[in-house]
Structure 1
Amino acid sequence: MTLHKSLAIAAGLLMGATSLFGGAQAQDIKVGAVLSVTGPGAFLGDPADKTLRMYVDEINAKGGVKGRKLQLVIYDDGGDAGKARTFATRLVEEDKIVAMVGGSSTGTTMAMVPIFEEAQIPFISLGGAVVIIEPVKKFVFKTPHTDRMACEKIFTDLKQRNLTRIALISGTDGFGKSMRDQCAAVNAKYGVEILAEETYGPRDTDMTPQLTNLKAKAGVQAVINPGFGQGPAIVTRNFRQLGFAVPLYQSHGVASKQYIDLAGDAANGVRLPAAALLVADKLAASDPQKAVASAYATKFQTITKEPVSTFGGHAFDGLMILVGAMERGGFDPKVIRDEIEKTKGLIGTAGVFNMSASDHMGLDLSAFKMLEIRNGDWALAE
């Protein structure tokens, strides 16, 4: 055999191998994510980003889904709703994804909803507000507990403590405003009276004037702070500085160690509803979430060397719901949507998910734990 012919055969084999590998690559299933990895919402998006990457790697290492590997396409919106919408369009039109897990906040999520609804591609949001899923949108789902549930869990705890007259200090961000509205909509159901209200903006650095007004209101027995980001930490510090001698409640929007670090010792005594994930090691052995939450917490902390947060857990739940749907139904977006809606008994870090045509979240109030911060750490308050 001549050298020329040998080279030609080798080249042909190489081209064949390239074609085979290229064909395999083309068969990967594209899953999109738009997250606030940087910017003011980084405490939401960064753990979600890390979670999706490490679990997609694990899934692929085990052979993928139905023999097909997942290709994760992630964009960082920096907390900007306009950028989130642009990236959502890119995922649909250019990347040709079959499903989406992301949307770190209510604001970025709602900017993307019309894109995925029009494209008929399932979108599992990681945002908190109930408006994401009510009214029901055919292709939109979510994994975090809603702001309404947070209000109800807090009001239940207040009633148990015989505290029925409260004040609200709410962020004007999408989540803060939505939770404020939800609390105002359900407080009477729990026999709780809202005596006074104040708000603060996302760039405010001192909430002392608003808290002084609330402290001056006679009869206030507790204060609730709907909000997320740095605002609640500032509220907490100012609250303690003023010597406000009533219980302070935060929302699940601050359920990460970053809030405790920012608020410092002032966080001790604060109560908030949150996922079991934060107290996985403290759950009873009989708790159905213990094994899942503990395994996720161990994996996240081992790989990232960072404290676990519920926001990474929400991404884990979303990915597991999506993978379960694809394992059952395949990779057509409309079929995936149908299978997500059929999710039953899936144990996640946020609770046990049971979705339906009228419930695109699938969690009830029992999925929430009431936590109290003690000595700079999470503890069960109940």
Structure 2
Amino acid sequence: MLNRTVGVPSITRRGLLVATASMFTVAACGTDDDASTGPRTASSTDLVVGGILERTGTGATMGELQARAMELFQPQINAEGFQVGAQRRNLQLKLVDSGGDPKKAGDLARQLANQDGVNAFIGGTIPETSTAISDVAQELQVPFVSLASADDILTPLSERTYTFKVTPDARDVAQALADEMGRQEIAKASILAGAGRHGDAGVRHVGSALTGRGITLGTTVRLPAGDQDFAAAAAEAVRGRPGAIVIWAMSPDAGKAARALRAAGYTGVFFFPPEAVTEETLSDENADAVEGSYAINPGSLGQSSLTETGPEGQRRRELIRRYVTQFGSFKGFAPYAADAISLLVQAAYQAKSVDRGRLRAYLERSSLEGMAGAYALTTIRHGGMEPGSLGVFNVNLNAWVRTS
């Protein structure tokens, strides 16, 4: 088992992403022709984004992290503003709490569109709320950038033309997990997946990836929905003594499942998806259970990101600095929401407008080297982080450490 960093592999991305990142730097900083000076005040011509997030209820652990990302990133954007046509604009945020309730998420989206006049939506860290927001986005023709990970959020594309996604595709994460297990010569692995569509995606793609890698698939067990005891599911998952168990669950269920598996006598290694990479998973309560575990996550989590000199590396360092200053620690955080904002700002710059339809059209041709990873959106591909942006991390002394 690797317990220390022995080298950070470079991430190969499309050459045009670098050019796009440079262009976005110009967009964020304005142009020499811009005669405006002094502070800018919010106006109806600003880019107004509705953030519909799970700050309470189901998905709150991930939802709160993304809300923090948006709140911390907004001052960075507005420090210089950004060029939209002949004007410099600010970013306005209208953050609301869906409580993890799909109906409430849809109602809030409708209210933000009709009453608050937002130009775009960001949100939905769980598939169920994301789909509800997507339905409203399609009906009212408001561009929506989803923060959920289930691949079916974007399908069928003919019915999701206003929806985009920045999180990694479950298929890519599953393949990276299987590849790492192959490198570690793990012969057999079981799956313990959460309830709902996030768990569905894990079962579907992890099973396929393991089989394709020649790894025997042991038992596949689903965690009960809601705040229930995981002991029975854990006992079933450890049967057959698998060499590894994939805990495909969001935080806080991921850490709770790890504790239940240890209580059931399992001593093998755990593998997690990105949705488990949070401060909560490394809490004191979970620390012993998850020590030595592996996770697939955007490579930006690694300490190497703190020394990057490019524009997004600088923005990432500043976001981390603000995060530590305000919240006291930084043990796991993927700023998907900040990248969603960057994509919308870039689209507004390219479209020379904050019109909803034009934003959607230019999102469809966006490439970005973001804080969490790289993106290349097209008319037939509305999302998913580039696979090369993902890295393998190991929990070592209560910290996520990137391995070779």
TM-score (norm 1): 0.86
Picking from 26, 41, 46, the partner of 2:64 is 46
Equivalent residue for 2:129?
108
Shift in Å, 1:341: 1.6
| CA separation of 1:205 and 1:381: change in aligned 2, threshold 3 A | farther
State the Cα deviation string for residues 117-174 of structure 1 (Å, max 9, x = none). 1222110011111112244321111111122222111001011111132111111133
Separation in structure 2 between the aligned mates of residue 309 and residue 138 of structure 1, nearest angstrom: 32
| CA separation of 1:299 and 1:280: change in aligned 2, threshold 3 A | farther
Shift in Å, 1:254: 0.9
Separation in structure 1 between the aligned mates of residue 45 and residue 316 of structure 2, nearest angstrom: 32
State the Cα deviation string for residues 295-340 of structure 1 (Å, max 9, x = none). 33223223443426434x0111100111011111121111111211
Shift in Å, 1:286: 8.7
Separation in structure 2 between the aligned mates of residue 363 and residue 28 of structure 1, nearest angstrom: 27
| CA separation of 1:308 and 1:118: change in aligned 2, threshold 3 A | farther
The answer as to 2:288 corresponding to 1:270 is no
Equivalent residue for 2:198?
175
Amino acid at match of 1:36: E
Q: 264-273 or 359-368, which moves further after superposition?
A: 359-368
Q: 263-272 or 182-191, which moves further after superposition?
A: 182-191
The answer as to 2:102 corresponding to 1:81 is yes
Amino acid at match of 1:30: V
Equivalent residue for 2:360?
337
Amino acid at match of 1:298: R
Aligned positions, number: 357
Shift in Å, 1:70: 2.6
Separation in structure 2 between the aligned mates of residue 159 and residue 55 of structure 1, nearest angstrom: 38
Equivalent residue for 1:279?
302
Identity %: 21
Amino acid at match of 1:236: A
Picking from 224, 240, 246, the partner of 1:201 is 224
* Structure 1: gaps (5+ residues): 1-22
Separation in structure 2 between the aligned mates of residue 280 and residue 302 of structure 1, nearest angstrom: 18
Separation in structure 2 between the aligned mates of residue 167 and residue 24 of structure 1, nearest angstrom: 52
Shift in Å, 1:376: 0.6
- Secondary structure of 2:50's match? strand
Equivalent residue for 1:225?
247
| CA separation of 1:69 and 1:341: change in aligned 2, threshold 3 A | same
| CA separation of 1:56 and 1:294: change in aligned 2, threshold 3 A | closer
The answer as to 2:88 corresponding to 1:70 is no
Separation in structure 1 between the aligned mates of residue 377 and residue 204 of structure 2, nearest angstrom: 25
State the Cα deviation string for residues 82-129 of structure 1 (Å, max 9, x = none). 110110111122112111111121111011111101222110011111
Bigger radius of gyration:
1
How do 1:230-379 and structure 2 match up within 5 A? 230-261=252-283, 262-281=285-304, 290-307=313-330, 309-311=332-334, 313-329=335-351, 330-344=353-367, 346-379=368-401
| CA separation of 1:281 and 1:31: change in aligned 2, threshold 3 A | same
| CA separation of 1:185 and 1:92: change in aligned 2, threshold 3 A | farther
The answer as to 2:44 corresponding to 1:26 is yes
Separation in structure 1 between the aligned mates of residue 307 and residue 45 of structure 2, nearest angstrom: 43
Equivalent residue for 1:15?
none
Q: 273-282 or 334-343, which moves further after superposition?
A: 273-282
Separation in structure 2 between the aligned mates of residue 184 and residue 24 of structure 1, nearest angstrom: 50
TM-score (norm 2): 0.81
The answer (yes or no) to whether the contact 2:72–2:322 under 8 Å persists in 1 is: no
Separation in structure 2 between the aligned mates of residue 374 and residue 236 of structure 1, nearest angstrom: 16
Structure with a larger share of its residues in helix: 1
Separation in structure 2 between the aligned mates of residue 170 and residue 297 of structure 1, nearest angstrom: 30
The answer (yes or no) to whether the contact 1:224–1:250 under 8 Å persists in 2 is: yes
Separation in structure 2 between the aligned mates of residue 250 and residue 288 of structure 1, nearest angstrom: 30
Q: 167-176 or 371-380, which moves further after superposition?
A: 167-176
- Secondary structure of 1:225's match? strand
| CA separation of 1:271 and 1:332: change in aligned 2, threshold 3 A | same
Shift in Å, 1:373: 0.4
Separation in structure 2 between the aligned mates of residue 287 and residue 238 of structure 1, nearest angstrom: 43
Give the ranges of 4+ consecutive aligned residues of structure 1 lying more than 6 Å apart after TM superposition.
Answer: 286-289
Separation in structure 2 between the aligned mates of residue 343 and residue 85 of structure 1, nearest angstrom: 26
Shift in Å, 1:284: 7.5
| CA separation of 1:240 and 1:74: change in aligned 2, threshold 3 A | same
- Secondary structure of 2:301's match? helix
Higher RCO (Cα < 8 Å, 6 or more apart): 2
Separation in structure 2 between the aligned mates of residue 282 and residue 116 of structure 1, nearest angstrom: 34
Equivalent residue for 1:20?
none
Equivalent residue for 2:185?
162
